[in-house]
């Protein structure tokens, strides 16, 4: 991982982030790149925040699963802009899906 990336750093400004997209991965894949998740949030059991050297922030989290997904899951990506999708895609070397194109949660659970 790029040494200029901050992961789960309390100085990262994640306040006001909202859903911008999704990334399909397992918990194991995420933890291998980002380390262990922070947990026990209001509607999320696993959560990572990342920030690059340009100040782009992204959050990666499960949503209303009540148990941390261990298999393949479409993790939510939050951010202040679509730059969050690019950041996550580069970090994980995986494609992301823009929530504006989907307009609803395509993997079940109702609208986000």
Q: Where are the domains of the chain?
A: 6-77+86-102
3-state secondary structure of 89: helix
Consecutive H or E run containing 76: strand 73-79
How many Å apart are CA 42 and CA 94, to the nearest integer? Answer: 27
Tokens encoding 59: 């959050």
What percentage of residues in the chain have a pLDDT greater than 90? 63
Q: What is the pLDDT of residues 50-77, one digit of tens each?
A: 999 999 999 999 998 888 998 999 999 9
Whether residue 36 has pLDDT greater than 50: yes
């Amino acid at each position: 991982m790029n040494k200029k990336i901050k992961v789960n750093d309390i100085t990262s400004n994640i306040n006001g982030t909202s859903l911008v997209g999704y990334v399909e991965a397992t918990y194991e894949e995420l933890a291998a790149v980002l380390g262990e998740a922070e947990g026990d949030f209001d509607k999320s059991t696993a959560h990572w925040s990342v920030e690059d050297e340009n100040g782009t922030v992204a959050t990666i989290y499960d949503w209303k699963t009540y148990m941390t997904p261990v298999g393949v899951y479409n993790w939510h990506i939050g951010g202040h802009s679509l730059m969050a999708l690019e950041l996550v895609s580069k970090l994980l070397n995986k494609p992301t899906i823009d929530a504006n194109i989907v307009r609803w949660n395509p993997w079940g659970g109702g609208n986000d």
